[in-house]
Amino acid sequence: MIYLKKLGLLLVLFLFIINISMAYESFMPSFAIGSDDNAYITWVTYNQDPDGIYYSKHSGVDGSPLVMEPFIVSEVNGAETPWVDVDSNGDSHVVWTEYSQDGLLFMLK
């Protein structure tokens, strides 16, 4: 990440790849920047074991991972469209749909 902080403005340019392996299909990324300037990221990965939605958190200071390994939020085949947001308390929330479960909406705090 490249950070430019001037006059209270923060510009973040993501120059790193967050993925389990380049051999697998990863897509549908979503990210949010919290009030702590940390980056919260979710994405979908297919054709690996396990398939599903992954979550990671990176430092707003130097871009280093704050979650040692990206962890899986949902292992259901058909889990898609993750969305991450951060509330005023600094808690991250992830929502997604699972089409194999009749298009239900799920949430993890």
Q: Give domain limits for the chain.
A: 25-108
What is the reported pTM?
0.69
- pLDDT at residue 29 greater than cutoff 70: yes
Phi-psi bin for 63: left (phi > 0), alpha (psi -120 to 50), beta?
Answer: left
Which residues sit opposite 27 in a β-bridge? 44
Burial class (CB in 10 A: 0-12, 13-18, 19+), 28: middle
- 33-66 burial, b if ≥16 CB within 10 A, otherwise e? ebeeebbbbbbbbeeeeebbbbbbbbebeebeee
- pLDDT at residue 57 greater than cutoff 90: no
pLDDT at 107: 58
- pLDDT at residue 7 greater than cutoff 50: no
